[in-house]
Structure 1
Amino acid sequence: MNKYNFGEYNSKEKLLTLLNNFNDFKLDETDSSKALNLSSDAWHLTDFVFEEYKPELGFQTLGDFRNDLFAQCDNLKIMHDLANASKHYNLSRPKAQIKLTRKHSGDFSSGFSKDFDISHLEIILENDEKLDFLLIIKNVIEFWKKFFNKNLNIIL
């Protein structure tokens, strides 16, 4: 039990918070504040899982665990950078090679399909690859759900 979380807030509860916040984000997929909160939730699951399941995971350090997660889900690097930059303003050790983030104002609202030029939150990497935040966070959420199922025997 974590003495700073008012009771039984654990890894599973943190994942459920991520899922609930994602459902809220889907109501307005251009809300940057909600996107940054999602990034923080998704990234800080690493800390929760490591501390709660350290013996079962078999990693000596949090850094070793994070590196293993990065190898399994490259998009966690984006969550790392967004979460830490929103907390510290600048990053001393970026992981994802993000050039910039922005709100892309499309000709259509996010209620339209991706076949249209819809408004969305965009991540542009150093190599000028453009990523849609919604797709990245969906990928990370699916990773975490599979991780919990496979490694911790927790099915959501």
Structure 2
Amino acid sequence: MTVRFDDLPEADDKHLRARLQNSPSRRGLFRAAALGGVGVAFGAFALVNRSADQAEAAYWQDYLSTSTGPCETYAKDHTEQGLKCGPSAMCTDLSCCWRYKSTPSNVRGWHKQTPRSTGTYYLFRPDACWGGTYDSWRWRFSDGKTYRCSDGWTCNNGSCVRTICPWAVT
């Protein structure tokens, strides 16, 4: 049995034409892909900034609890020899704290980061607190205030000592 071309049934092409006519343009596809990418990026930023016991100031992480973590045993509701951030070297005159408007390299209320020089300069110690994760911790002092204690270095003519910036946050 031989089948000729004329013997084949015709397909209904109404649906095919409707699908082809309503297809988006190439520009529309690129626009949708770009907007989708922007949405994914903002979603990723939200995931990065979400945290339970920390707050971000620029890229610095502040451990918020005064009763767990690095201050669990010795910082809860008391002083340590009258110091606001524990038994570490502290800038009592706030000389190592950044007290001005926040900049890309310094955030108000955190340890200073200044250019290295032959005189006195300051270096921030990122990820130096509590197992290399946080940049500061909270200390509840006997005056009822809570202080952020951020780590850094105070250097003079090439010799550096660890210092802490005690900044009242409540």
- What TM-score comes out, normalization by structure 2 length? 0.22
- What TM-score comes out, normalization by structure 1 length? 0.23
Structure showing the higher strand proportion among its residues:
2
